[in-house]
């Protein structure tokens, strides 16, 4: 079964500094990977996806993610964090059984310190 792991519970970063949220995956075959963000009392918002092609994927709100097949990782990055980036971030992988369901990691709380 496809799965992802987010090893850290919380990521603290100073405003203006680079932000990295880690994700590793375990799949059979080529993965379809996603990042979502959840702001307080809101639903999940799609940030970006990797299906195939370039290993560096650009998404919404200045976020990007780097797919690394040898390290089975898909880390989310932002060059300069904003206080408004403080939220819960989820990595997810699509089931390859043809039904498109997602398996999520436990989530990472990102706190951007002014």
Q: Which residues bind another protein (CB under 8 A)?
A: 34, 36, 41-46, 49, 51-52, 90, 95, 97-107
Round to whole Å and give the CA distance between 112 and 84: 8
Cβ-based nearer residue to another protein, 97 or 114: 97
Confirm if 60 and 73 have CB atoms less than 8 A apart: no
- Measured at the CA of 106, the angle between CA 59 and CA 65, to 5 degrees, comes to 20
Give least dist CB 18 to another protein, A.
Answer: 26
Cβ-based nearer residue to another protein, 34 or 63: 34
Give least dist CB 59 to another protein, A.
Answer: 11
Closest CA to 75 of 98, 59, 99, 97: 59
Give least dist CB 51 to another protein, A.
Answer: 5
Cβ-based nearer residue to another protein, 57 or 81: 57
């Amino acid at each position: 079964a496809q799965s992802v792991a987010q090893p850290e519970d919380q990521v603290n970063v100073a405003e203006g500094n680079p932000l990295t949220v880690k994700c590793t995956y375990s799949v059979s075959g080529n993965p379809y990977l996603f990042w979502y963000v959840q702001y307080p009392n809101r639903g999940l918002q799609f940030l970006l996806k990797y299906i195939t092609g370039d290993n560096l994927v650009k998404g919404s709100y200045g976020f990007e993610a780097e797919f690394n097949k040898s390290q089975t990782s898909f880390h989310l990055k932002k060059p300069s964090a904003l206080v408004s980036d403080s939220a819960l971030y989820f990595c997810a992988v699509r089931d390859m059984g043809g039904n498109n369901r997602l398996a999520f990691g436990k989530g990472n709380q990102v706190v951007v310190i002014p």
